[in-house]
Amino acid sequence: MIISSLLIIGSLGWTSAWGGVRREEPSITQITLQDLQPRADFYLVGVVEPARTVEVKVDSSRGSVVEKKVEAGDQVKAGQALFVYSNPEGALAIKEAEQATANRSRAVEQARRQTNQKWEQYNKVTNQLEETKQKIASAEEEDKEGLEDRKTDLEMQQSQLLLEAQNLESSIGDAELELERAELELRSVQEQHGSDVVEAEIDGIVKDVDERQMNRSASEAAPENPFMTIVDTSRLFLKGNVDEFRRNQLEPGQKVELRDRNGGSQRWTGKITRVGDMKEPSVVVEEQGANPNLSQFSFEVVLDESEEPPSIGIHCFVERIEEEQTAIKLPKSFVFYEEDRPFIYVVEDHKISKLSVEIMEDETDEAMYLLESELDMQVVLVFPTVRIQEGMDVKPNDPTD
């Protein structure tokens, strides 16, 4: 019994000690070689915006929205159905206007047909009159009297038919004018009530859908907010302001790097497309490094395409990419020595390993080495602490800088 008790106590003590070690296991912080490179003391802040934004509002004159064809987050193409109106009164008004237009069109055709018939009669009588005149010229005296009477009768018919044909010509003009009025009224009614189906104007993503606006009565006041918002994400832009002193350091075509102001390791690149010439009457946020006593000018950045683009509306820091910088630097605190040979701790296959490097002093910065070894800028280093050892596991939830 004594031996068993000792074994149990010893086991508990070993378990407690092992558990204490596990609890004190260090958290490993990672950072890429790229992020260790010194950055110029120059950054701006801007907001990511889409290429275009189209707000689709409900038109109460076209009825109430009874069906939506898309949901928030859907990708849509120009011409794709977004939602459907129900408007019986509007449909009836369009039908009546279409019927009136059709009636006026038939009236024009009838006037043209009657006019053509009258001109045919006129031409027929005219031909008969010419034939009669020719017969009179060659007829015997006893036949001329009858031919003269026919000539007089044909001349009276010709005059009457000419007058009627000319009047019918005028009626065509009147009928065509009435048709134009009917067509104008039809277009007006169609514009007012429109089609039952509303289509997308652009390719993009449906950002918002306010379903509270569905099935509203036509008598209710139309809400100010859009029913749907579609954003064109084919190109993303960042828009912000720069003060008057730093404005001259920006120019179109200059490459920049963006990073989320709220943290995270992801980076995006782009280039400046515009630097404003006019002062912006914008609110200056001092926490973002802006001076409220300096004039502000707008600037715009077009983002390069990426597999994981930033979310629309996020605020990002903007830093210039100095293309002429070729030297790769390494903080001295990251370098360890083993038998006078320098190495760094890196993450490979979720474990910490040693990586030998070749370095030299940086004459411009006492805290940095110049890295002579050729390394991928995305290699992941481990923040140096005295407890870091080769072979340690790097857990998925370990922080990154």
Average pLDDT of the residues in 84-101: 86
**Other CB atoms within 10 A of residue 341 CB:** 11
Identify the pLDDT of residue 78.
93
User: 101, exposed or middle or buried, with CB in 10 Å at 0-12, 13-18, 19+?
Assistant: buried
Percent of the chain with pLDDT over 70: 86
β-pairing, 341-348 with 30-32?
Answer: unpaired
Identify the pLDDT of residue 232.
93
Most confident of 17-21, 92-96, 288-292: 92-96
Residue matched to tokens 């907010």: 225
The one-letter amino acid code at 281 reads P
d(CA 117, CA 132): 23
325 falls in which pLDDT band (50, 70, 90)? low
d(CA 301, CA 257): 10
Strand order through the sheet with 81-86? 64-68, 81-86, 197-199
Q: What φ, ψ does residue 141 adopt, rounded to 5°?
A: -60, -40
Reduced 3-state DSSP string for the chain? CHHHHHHHHHHHHHHHHHHHHHHCCCCCCEEECHHHCCCCCCCEEEEEEEEEEEEECCCHHHCEEEEECCCCCCEECCCCEEEEEECHHHHHHHHHHHHHHHHHHHHHHHHHHHHHHHHHHHHHHHHHHHHHHHHHHHCCHHHHHHHHHHHHHHHHHHHHHHHHHHHHHHHHHHHHHHHHHHHHHHHHHHHHHCCCEEECCCCEEEEEECHHHCCCCCCCCCCCCCCEEEEEEEEEEEEEEEECCCHHHCCCCCEEEEEECCCCCCEEEEEEEEEEEEECCCCCCHHHCCCCCCCEEEEEEEECCCCCCCCCCCEEEEEECCCCCCCCEEEHHHCEEECCEEEEEEEECCEEEEEECCEEECCCCCCEEEECCCCCCCCEEECCCCCCCCCCECCCCCCEC
21 falls in which pLDDT band (50, 70, 90)? very low
Task: Give the model confidence (pLDDT) of 197-214 as tens digits.
Answer: 899 999 999 988 999 998
Tokens for 71, please give them.
Answer: 């949901």
Say if residue 43's pLDDT is above 70: yes
d(CA 64, CA 55): 18
**CA 367 and chain centroid, separation:** 46
**Other CB atoms within 10 A of residue 77 CB:** 10
Tokens for 78, please give them.
Answer: 């120009």
Are residues 256 and 238 in contact, defined by beta-carbon separation less than 8 angstroms? no
Task: Give the model confidence (pLDDT) of 112-146 as tens digits.
Answer: 999 999 999 999 999 999 998 888 888 787 788 88
The one-letter amino acid code at 165 reads A
**Cα–Cα distances in angstroms (integers) from residue 284 to residues 83, 200, 280, in the given order:** 41, 36, 10
Q: Which is nearest to 73 in space by CA: 306, 309, 233, 199?
A: 233
Identify the pLDDT of residue 218.
65
**Other CB atoms within 10 A of residue 97 CB:** 20
Identify the pLDDT of residue 397.
65
Q: Which residues contact 97 (CB under 8 A, 6 or more apart)?
A: 182, 185, 186, 189, 190
Total-model pTM: 0.47
Identify the pLDDT of residue 192.
74
Higher local confidence (pLDDT), 228 or 26: 228
Average pLDDT of the residues in 166-184: 91
**Other CB atoms within 10 A of residue 47 CB:** 14
Tokens for 127, please give them.
Answer: 């031909």
